[in-house]
């Protein structure tokens, strides 16, 4: 190969190299590495709001102590619940606890949604225990007080309280004011020590126990009988004036006792037109001759009537609605098919009450060192 040809070929090779370099793609920059975004926290699940007190999902519990037949309480309680629902739009649930103490426990355990019909002793204990607050006291045929009565078999030899020394005592419940608290204070004050004590479960059961001879005496509630004209045997004004001083003034005429019997519908215990309203009347259907078999031995001091009380944290606005509705309900005929029935609690009406009204009951508690049964 001559020199001229060599240079021509070299020139062609260099030119081709330059052309190929110009056509090659430009180098790309390495991508910039970016940090991954921080994971976002999952939204916190929110609890659904609690149902409002008085709603169908959270009804207001209306508690009734089991002093009489539970079936009667439930039936009459439902009448009241329906009336209150119609007046307020709130929902109510009727509850009959197993004992007086259980009623107090329920009020303290559910302070924001309970209202209860409880005796004076139960109220005094509950108010001290957890701040339960009274709204109304019962009125029974014009009387804002009631009494305990000591009952015995009509043919028994017992004539005075002193005769009960060593006798078998039947009472409904240790948290009952008339059934237990008042008698235990009076018996102790009189220096009387009873024999065996039998807790029967309620006033009706106590009357039945005396009727059947299962106990020597029993203690239950006393309400003033009605005369044939429908008026009380004596008036509240006469009582306050100190005009009622003997046992006989609390009793219907003895000549009417043989004629005592339930009326044709079985709703009243009548004795020549006199209507019996104490605990004996509650067993008139099962024991129509109860008046001929069971008599009153003695009447206690008076005590303030039973209460309607609210749990300590019960909403004030709902309470005001219920109180207004109850006052209206008490003026209706339906009241008589509910708590106004003589077979139920026999409340003929209600009056506003204050905590101080039950100081006399607290004094009994302090005097005896009494504590609610567990």
**Residue 21: pLDDT above 90?**
no
Rounded mean pLDDT, 197-203: 96
Residue 179's nearest CA partner among 193, 156, 197 is: 197
Q: Over the stretch 213-244, which tens digit does the pLDDT of each residue have?
A: 999 999 999 999 999 999 999 999 999 999 99
Running DSSP on this structure, what letter comes out for residue 241? T
Spell out the alpha helix ranges (H) of 215-269. Answer: 236-240
Give me Rg for the CA atoms of the chain. Answer: 40
**How many Å separate Cα 22 from the centre of its chain?**
101
Separation between Cα atoms, residue 148 and residue 356, nearest integer Å: 21
Q: 144 is written with which tokens? A: 């804002």
Average pLDDT over residues 296-310: 96
Measured distance CA(286)–CA(359) in Å, rounded:
38
CA-CA distance, 31 to 41, in Å (whole number)?
Answer: 30
For residues 60 and 110, the answer to whether their CB atoms sit within 8 Å is: no
Distance CA(33)–CA(24), nearest Å, equals: 27
- For residue 178, what is the DSSP state? I
Task: Say yes or no to pLDDT of 81 above 60.
Answer: yes
Q: Which helix (H) or strand (E) holds 106?
A: helix 100-109
Question: Quick one: angle between helices 70-88 and 316-329, nearest 10?
Answer: 110
Sign of the CA dihedral 314, 120, 173, 373?
positive
For residue 372, the model assigns a pLDDT of 67
Rounded to the nearest 5°, which phi and psi values hold at 200?
-85, -25
* Pairing status of strand 349-352 against strand 169-171: unpaired
DSSP state for residue 84 in the 8-state scheme = H
Residue 85: phi and psi, rounded to 5, are -60, -45
Strands of the chain (E only): list them: 60-64, 92-95, 114-118, 133-139, 145-153, 169-171, 197-199, 217-222, 260-262, 269-271, 274-275, 294-304, 307-310, 349-352
Instruction: Say which residue the tokens 């070929």 belong to.
Output: 9
First to last CA, the chain: 128
pLDDT of residue 181: 86
pLDDT at 42: 61
Bridge partners (DSSP) of residue 307 are 118, 137
Q: Are 137 and 357 in contact (CB under 8 A)?
A: yes
Q: How far apart are CA 182 and CA 147, in angstroms?
A: 9
pLDDT of res. 209: 98
What is the arithmetic mean of pLDDT over 173-187? 89
pLDDT band at 40; cut points 50, 70, 90: low
Q: Which domains does the chain have, with CATH numbers?
A: 60-142+305-368 (3.40.190.10), 145-304 (3.40.190.10)
185, 300 contact by CB (below 8 A): no
- Whether the pLDDT of residue 53 is over 80: the answer is yes
Which pLDDT belongs to residue 19? 41
- Residue 238, C-beta contacts closer than 8 angstroms, at least 6 positions apart: 244
> What mean pLDDT, rounded, does the chain reach?
89
Average of per-residue pLDDT across 247-257: 98
Q: How do residues 127-166 score in pLDDT, each as one tens digit?
A: 999 999 999 999 988 999 999 999 999 999 999 999 999 9
Cα(22)–Cα(120) distance, integer angstroms: 111
Residue 89 has pLDDT above 80, yes or no: yes
The angle subtended at Cα 100 by Cα 345 and Cα 130, nearest 5°, is 115
Express as a percent the part of the chain with pLDDT over 70: 87
Most confident range (mean pLDDT) of 39-43, 120-124, 176-180, 216-220 is 216-220
Q: pLDDT band at 7, cuts 50/70/90?
A: very low
Return the pLDDT at 364. Answer: 84
**Higher pLDDT, residue 215 or 37:** 215
Whether this prediction's pTM lies above 0.75 is answered by: no
DSSP conformational letter for 128: H
Higher-scoring residue by pLDDT: 269, 34: 269
Which residues neighbour 50 within 8 Å (Cβ) at sequence distance 6 or greater?
Answer: 58
């Amino acid at each position: 190969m001559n020199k001229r040809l060599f240079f021509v070929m070299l020139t062609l090779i260099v030119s081709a190299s330059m052309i190929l370099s110009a056509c090659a793609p430009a180098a790309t920059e390495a991508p910039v590495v970016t940090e991954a975004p921080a994971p976002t926290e999952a939204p916190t699940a929110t609890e659904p709001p609690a149902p409002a007190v008085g709603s169908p999902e959270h009804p207001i519990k209306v508690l009734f102590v089991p002093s009489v037949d539970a079936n009667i309480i439930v039936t009459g309680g439902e009448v009241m619940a329906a009336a209150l629902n119609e007046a307020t739009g709130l929902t109510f649930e009727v509850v009959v606890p197993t004992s007086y103490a259980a009623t107090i426990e329920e009020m303290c355990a559910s302070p924001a949604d309970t209202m209860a019909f409880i005796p004076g002793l139960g109220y005094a204990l509950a108010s001290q225990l957890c701040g339960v607050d009274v709204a109304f006291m019962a009125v029974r045929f014009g009387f804002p007080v009631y009494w305990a009565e000591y009952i015995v078999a009509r043919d028994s030899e017992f004539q005075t309280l002193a005769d009960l020394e060593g006798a078998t005592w039947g009472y409904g419940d240790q948290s009952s004011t008339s059934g237990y608290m008042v008698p235990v204070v009076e018996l102790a004050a009189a220096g009387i020590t009873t024999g065996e004590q039998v807790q029967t479960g309620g006033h009706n059961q106590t009357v039945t126990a005396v009727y059947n001879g299962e106990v020597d005496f029993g203690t239950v509630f006393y309400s003033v009988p009605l005369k044939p004209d429908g008026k009380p045997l004596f008036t509240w004004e006469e009582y306050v004036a100190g005009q009622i001083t003997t046992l006989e003034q609390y009793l219907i005429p003895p000549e009417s006792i043989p004629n005592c019997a339930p009326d044709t519908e079985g709703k009243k215990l009548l004795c020549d037109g006199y209507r019996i309203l104490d605990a004996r009347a509650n067993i008139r259907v099962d024991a129509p001759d109860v008046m001929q078999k069971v008599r009153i031995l003695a009447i206690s001091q008076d005590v303030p009537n039973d209460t309607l009380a609210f749990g300590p944290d019960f909403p004030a606005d709902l309470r005001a609605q219920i109180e207004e509705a109850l006052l209206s309900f008490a003026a209706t005929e339906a009241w008589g098919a509910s708590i106004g029935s003589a077979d139920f609690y026999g409340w003929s009406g209600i009056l506003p009450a204050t905590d101080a009204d039950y100081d006399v009951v607290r004094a009994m508690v302090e005097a005896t060192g009494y504590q609610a049964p567990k």
